[in-house]
Structure 1
């Protein structure tokens, strides 16, 4: 169940005031993020208070460095669902722009206390906020109107779990490592678009998804599963997908193109979510369509094998 969505520019409804707020960006909602949110949720439940997980959208990096290549691991809708599944009552969205960037740390804490009636906050040890990132956990702890708790970083192996580490794994073509750190695979959600329908003519009709603001994982062929957003039940589609620019065809188009096994329904205009489980091979250009379709058959066989236990 999704958490209720709150906007930082609007007062919280009375039943969500007095809550415990997990503060962070939480893109990817990985093991470390889950520990911070989990502490806030447990604290809130223990005291009978609302549990609220905050996030920033757009990401502050997008404001300060607008030319940064896409790097998001989740959309706002996905975060709302993930927070709700973790037990949060609400997701508080800080709409990040010039006004919020210029807000002093003290004014930011005052906003939490006055507009949302926050009783307590939970952050990671390295969380910073306010103009010039001058606010820290010490700022929160020193404020008389709020109680603050800190959750230390979570290790996986010898390294700290971080969104940067997850992005590097995905760019290296290691979705399994990313899934280990996030506790679920990267899932790309979008509306299925009409394409040039070449796949249909060669026996492999695909659902074309734009990558939008998502990080670009390593281009190549992946074993994937998918669900249709909003569809009742728990139907899981299995398939093989090309993620990249389709070097066999002109002009190049950057897309995620899953082909689903044993599936012939019309998905155009529907929202689907495609999870990347295994990297099979890099993108390549073949000597004609016969060579391409032969390789696609091998890719699908490998994807079926890799996904057999799902």
Structure 2
């Protein structure tokens, strides 16, 4: 997959082969986004076009609504790029969403960012908007003769539209399993194993401290049943993750991700890992002492083993 970062003014003349383009922010690549992208792939295959996706960076709210700006993501850009490449996408356009870009007229956007790059098919969600004040819509896209436009209707669950906003709300309110249903997969966080306080090994629960590879939205503070992969190894390891501020040991501390892997005793500092969150076990709690903490962690481990039984080799 070729990735092109586009800015305003758009000085690139990429000389691309004819393209079918799915367009949207696509944070999370959830089931609703999957509908748009799979429709693009279907059209591209039918008409022998290159498969392309256009996304934006940063989130438009950073420019358009600073009071409610979104600076954490379900799929930070690098993760989104990796997932799209796995879908067989040929071109990824990452458009810098700046103040100047946001001020473009709808027609300028279409000419400079779509027609200029040989887009022959545009596929977008029913509520896609573009151009200054969001004046452009699916309806206005359909007025252009240079390409065809396909509108994808909302994908719903229990008569409610699946959206990134809804999934974020679920993750932040202890409803991980419901969020995973709307994602169509387990919520995942990629990162690197870094040095921690090394307290876990002294109480029989050695942990890997994970530094996320990007501005991930972290779910509500608590304990989770997880699986984890290490580097390019496909082996799936079961474990328990604590996402929180370690209140038993600190009055005020940064949020950390610590994963205790079951039946695992390797040193993996510096390794890139992916943590898959399967089940929410309990909220974060400050314990009166180590004995209470160890008792709770033992129970968490037992619960995780039961929930992750299908991953037992």
Contact 1:113 1:145 in 2 (8 A): no
Cα offset, 1:71, TM superposition = 3.8
Please tell me whether residue 147 in structure 1 is matched to residue 148 in structure 2.
yes
Structure 1 counterpart of 2:302: 301
Contact 1:228 1:270 in 2 (8 A): yes
Distance of aligned partners of 1:12 and 1:180 in 2 relative to their CA distance in 1, 3 Å threshold: farther
- Provide the rounded CA distance (Å) in 1 between the counterparts of 2:254 and 2:201: 17
Structure 2 counterpart of 1:105: 106
Structure 2 counterpart of 1:129: 130
Deviations 1:113-149 (A, max 9, x none): 3431111110000011112211111121112322111
Deviations 1:287-306 (A, max 9, x none): 11121112111111111111
Aligned partner of residue 111 in structure 1, secondary structure: helix
Cα offset, 1:267, TM superposition = 2.4
Aligned partner of residue 242 in structure 2, secondary structure: strand
Structure 1 counterpart of 2:194: 193
- Provide the rounded CA distance (Å) in 2 between the counterparts of 1:275 and 1:76: 18
Aligned partner of residue 165 in structure 1, secondary structure: helix
- Provide the rounded CA distance (Å) in 2 between the counterparts of 1:284 and 1:260: 21
**RMSD value over aligned CA atoms?**
1.9
Where has structure 1 moved over 6 Å in runs of 4 or more? none
Structure 2 counterpart of 1:214: 216
- Provide the rounded CA distance (Å) in 2 between the counterparts of 1:156 and 1:181: 8
Aligned partner of residue 246 in structure 2, secondary structure: coil
Structure 2 counterpart of 1:274: 275
Contact 1:221 1:241 in 2 (8 A): yes
Bigger drift between 60-69 and 262-271 goes to 60-69
Bigger drift between 210-219 and 116-125 goes to 210-219
Aligned partner of residue 142 in structure 1, secondary structure: coil
Distance of aligned partners of 1:170 and 1:12 in 2 relative to their CA distance in 1, 3 Å threshold: farther
- Provide the rounded CA distance (Å) in 1 between the counterparts of 2:205 and 2:13: 49
Cα offset, 1:23, TM superposition = 0.5
Q: What is the TM-score normalised by the length of structure 1?
A: 0.92
Q: How does 1:145-294 map to 2 (within 5 A)?
A: 145-210=146-211, 213-229=215-231, 231=232, 233-250=233-250, 251-294=252-295
- Provide the rounded CA distance (Å) in 2 between the counterparts of 1:302 and 1:309: 13
Contact 1:185 1:275 in 2 (8 A): yes
Distance of aligned partners of 1:69 and 1:86 in 2 relative to their CA distance in 1, 3 Å threshold: closer
Cα offset, 1:266, TM superposition = 2.5
* Unmatched tracts of structure 2, length 5 or more: none
Please tell me whether residue 8 in structure 1 is matched to residue 19 in structure 2.
no
- Provide the rounded CA distance (Å) in 1 between the counterparts of 2:49 and 2:108: 24
Cα offset, 1:224, TM superposition = 0.5
- Provide the rounded CA distance (Å) in 2 between the counterparts of 1:122 and 1:63: 25
Q: What is the TM-score normalised by the length of structure 2?
A: 0.91
Distance of aligned partners of 1:214 and 1:66 in 2 relative to their CA distance in 1, 3 Å threshold: farther
Contact 2:209 2:257 in 1 (8 A): yes
Aligned partner of residue 143 in structure 1, secondary structure: coil
- Provide the rounded CA distance (Å) in 2 between the counterparts of 1:273 and 1:216: 14
Contact 1:210 1:254 in 2 (8 A): no
**What is the number of residues matched between the two proteins?**
305
Q: How does 1:32-47 map to 2 (within 5 A)?
A: 32-47=32-47
- Provide the rounded CA distance (Å) in 1 between the counterparts of 2:204 and 2:13: 52
Cα offset, 1:70, TM superposition = 4.5
Cα offset, 1:263, TM superposition = 1.8
Contact 1:237 1:260 in 2 (8 A): yes
Structure 2 counterpart of 1:83: 84
Aligned partner of residue 309 in structure 1, secondary structure: helix
